[in-house]
Amino acid sequence: MFSGVCGVLPGSTTRPGLRKQEHRVAAENGHHFNETFQQAVDQHGLRSFVYIQGEPVPFDKLAQAEQQLYDQAVKAGVPLFNKRRPASKPHPVGYKLSDKTRRKQSRAKKGNKNAAKHFVFLSPDAELVETSSLSDLCALYNLDISAMSRLAHGKQESHRGWKQGGET
């Protein structure tokens, strides 16, 4: 948490040793992710702020601890730099997207030539086969998708007579 003459930037981290340095470097370079905090640093200087590291709390108690920081700052009449309050149920790292969200992302990528990967293979019959759907190609020719992916990325020489057919 950064605290200074003109406000508080409460937060939490799993990397307390690195987080202070990340905030400092970003603010010194004029590129802090929190625009309000960056404006205050530009106006008052970084020396007007101090980094205060709170007590470690278990992940399931993190939202409560952050809320206490917010409430204390509000009660003291100190402006908060954060633009939003912490989520009541923060996503754990590596969370799985819902089926609805995955469908939306899939629809957004379909038809976008920049979102699709392009593969070129040389078939056992010495024909160049191009595709943007590795799974469809593997289903059509009864190939192993993992082996074809390794082939496409140059990690394997050949698979059932198929070879990499050029730049992908």
Q: What is the mean pLDDT of residues 37-57?
A: 80
Query: Is residue 120 within 8 Å of 165, Cβ to Cβ?
Result: yes
Residue 156's pLDDT is: 93
pLDDT tens digits for 67-76?
Answer: 887 788 778 7
d(Cα 114, Cα 93) in Å, to the nearest integer?
27
pTM above 0.75, yes or no: no
Q: Which DSSP letter does residue 5 get?
A: T
Domain extent listing, the chain: 2-75, 119-164
CATH dotted code for 119-164: 1.10.10.10
